[in-house]
């Protein structure tokens, strides 16, 4: 009988101890999570503490996301850029052609810069030609069509294009943003369960950091997507008197000598034409200076003559 009572008491004591431990565990759940957050181990295998801490196998790839967290668009993310230089002898017509082309291809001007003659150029009559520089954003699917249609603007001197594949960076950044989104949801759940002011402040501090990272990553993704959707065309339109000569390949020795001789003749002729033009332009200034010098020389010459006559007269008197 005594042994039976001892067994019942031991069973009751074990039951009470189990209930006490369960209550402590439930009460300390938020406290434990808060402690892990402070220690930097909260969901450490899913969410970085700071941007750029993902590296190697720790980085969350697409395979680490499930359900709605996986990106639905897995297409390649390519950024296309072209640099085009065009010469024209009809500047206004070329500017109009660029504007028409932008409207036709559904593009838009990101920036424009059109230079004109300065006051000094107008005064001296310098043959300074105008230049227009554009940064055009065109839908990616019409990028090639626009670059190949630049003949409508003028004589195409140079076309160079390049492509940048940002697929890996884009989806890695997207995965990081989604991981931060998961952490934000968990922090909000913890915030609703916390019982002390200290826990609340600690969770809200981490929640603020997570929200900042989400906004920063979303901004980066938006900028990248805009560059992917709209390719960039850097267009330069130069006004010229005559189009640049395109020499035929494999020219003979005598043809090269002839070309060099004609270039020299043109350069000499251009020099004398420029010198004569500058002389005529400067006549309003040079004429008064020349007249003043002429008067000065006449006065000096007259003075010398008078002095010479005076010396001769004195010499005659002495004789």
d(C-alpha 189, C-alpha 138), whole Å: 45
In the chain, what percentage of residues exceed pLDDT 70?
69
pLDDT of residue 208: 94
Residue 163 has a pLDDT of 94
**Mean pLDDT across the chain, nearest whole number?**
76
Are both 24 and 145 inside the same structural domain?
yes
- pLDDT for position 104: 93
* pLDDT of 119: 55
The yes-or-no verdict on residue 32 having pLDDT over 70 is no
Kindly state the helix (H) or strand (E) to which residue 164 belongs, with its residue range: strand 155-165
In angstroms, how far is CA 91 from the centroid of its own chain?
A: 27
122 and 188 together in one domain: yes
- Residue 51 CA: distances (Å) to CA of 56, 96, 114, 180: 14, 47, 42, 11
How many CB atoms neighbour CB 211 within 10 A? Answer: 14
Residue 8 within a domain: no
What confidence tens digit (pLDDT) does each residue in 138-174 have? 999 999 999 999 999 999 999 999 999 999 999 999 9
**What's the rounded mean pLDDT across residues 262-269?**
80
Confidence band, pLDDT 50/70/90 cuts, at residue 46: very low
> Are residues 310 and 195 part of one domain?
no
Provide the 10 A C-beta neighbour count for residue 132. 20
> How far apart, in whole angstroms, are the C-alpha atoms of residue 234 and residue 135?
5
Within-domain flag for 62: yes
pLDDT at position 164 is: 94
The predicted-structure confidence for 174-214, as pLDDT tens digits, reads as follows 999 999 999 999 999 998 888 888 889 999 999 999 999 99
Domain final position from 246, 281, 296: 246
Which of 225, 246, 267 delimits the end of a domain? 246
Only one residue has tokens 């020219």, namely 251
Among 40-49, 144-153, 295-304, which is the least confidently predicted range?
40-49
CB 228: neighbour CB atoms within 10 A? Answer: 19
- Backbone phi, then psi, for 113, in 5-degree steps? -150, 110
Q: CA of 130: how far to CAs of 94, 126, 149, 236, 306, in Å?
A: 12, 12, 22, 11, 61
Higher pLDDT, residue 260 or 174: 174
pLDDT over 90 at 286, yes or no: no
The residue length of the chain stands at 319
Q: Is residue 70 part of a domain?
A: yes
Within a domain: 6:
no
Q: Is the dihedral of CA 305, 311, 317, 319 positive or negative?
A: negative
Q: Would residue 55 count as lying in a domain?
A: yes
Place of tokens 């940002």: 166
The pTM of the whole model exceeds 0.85 = no
Contact 126, 278 (CB under 8 A): no
How many structural domains does the chain have? 2
Domain that holds residue 306: 254-318
The pLDDT value recorded for residue 44 is: 35
Radius of gyration of the chain (CA): 43
The upper half-sphere exposure of residue 131, i.e. CA atoms within 13 Å in the direction of its Cβ, equals 7
Token pair of 293 as six digits: 């010098």
- Sorted by sequence, the CB contacts under 8 Å of residue 7 that are 6+ apart come out as none
Average pLDDT over residues 228-234: 95
Q: pLDDT confidence of 43, banded at 50, 70, 90?
A: very low
Residue 16 has pLDDT above 60, yes or no: no
Rounded Cα distance between 237 and 129, Å, is: 11
Q: Which of 243, 241, 248 is nearest to 270 (CA)?
A: 241
Q: Is the pLDDT of residue 4 over 60?
A: no
pLDDT for position 29:
39
Residue where a domain stops, chosen among 218, 246, 274: 246
Whether residue 19 is predicted with pLDDT greater than 80 in this model: the reply is no
pLDDT at 53: 37
Q: Are 159 and 147 in contact (CB under 8 A)?
A: yes
What is the pLDDT, as a whole number, of residue 122?
57
Q: Both 156 and 285 in a single domain?
A: no
Residues 289 and 306 reside in one and the same domain: yes
Region 287-304: mean pLDDT is 83
Residue 247 banded pLDDT, cuts 50, 70, 90: low
Per-residue pLDDT tens for 109-134?
A: 999 998 875 555 555 555 678 899 99
Same domain, 137 and 271: no
Task: Kindly give, in sequence order, each residue whose CB lies less than 8 Å from that of residue 225, ignoring residues fewer than 6 positions away.
Answer: 77
Write out pLDDT tens, residues 82-111. Answer: 999 999 999 999 999 999 999 999 999 999
- Between 18 and 44, the more confident residue is 18
């Amino acid at each position: 009988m005594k042994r039976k009572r001892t067994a019942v008491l031991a069973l009751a004591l074990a039951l009470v101890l189990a209930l006490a431990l369960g209550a402590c565990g439930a009460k300390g759940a938020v406290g434990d999570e808060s402690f892990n957050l402070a220690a930097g181990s909260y969901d450490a295998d899913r969410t970085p503490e700071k941007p750029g801490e993902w590296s190697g196998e720790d980085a969350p790839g697409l395979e680490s996301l499930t359900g709605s967290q996986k990106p639905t668009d897995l297409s390649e993310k390519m950024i296309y850029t072209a640099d085009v230089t065009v010469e024209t002898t009809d500047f206004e017509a070329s500017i109009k052609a660029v504007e028409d082309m932008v409207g036709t291809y559904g593009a838009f001007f990101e920036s424009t810069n059109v230079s004109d003659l300065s006051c000094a150029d107008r005064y001296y009559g310098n043959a300074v030609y105008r230049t227009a520089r554009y940064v055009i954003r065109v839908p990616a699917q019409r990028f090639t069509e626009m670059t190949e249609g630049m003949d409508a603007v003028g004589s195409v001197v140079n076309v160079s294009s390049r492509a940048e594949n940002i697929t890996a960076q884009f989806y890695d950044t997207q995965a990081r943003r989604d991981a931060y989104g998961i952490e934000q949801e968990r922090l909000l759940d913890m915030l609703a369960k916390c019982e002390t002011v200290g826990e609340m402040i600690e969770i809200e501090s981490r929640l603020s950091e997570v929200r900042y990272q989400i906004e920063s990553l979303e901004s980066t993704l938006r900028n990248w997507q805009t560059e992917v959707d709209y390719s960039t065309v850097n267009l330069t339109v130069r006004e010229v008197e005559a189009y640049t000569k395109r020499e035929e390949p494999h020219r003979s020795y005598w043809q090269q000598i002839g070309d060099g001789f004609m270039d020299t003749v043109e350069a000499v002729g251009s020099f004398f034409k420029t010198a004569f033009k500058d002389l005529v332009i400067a006549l309003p200034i040079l004429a008064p200076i020349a007249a003043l010098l002429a008067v000065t020389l006449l006065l000096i010459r007259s003075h010398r003559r008078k002095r010479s006559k005076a010396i001769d007269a004195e010499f005659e008197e002495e004789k």
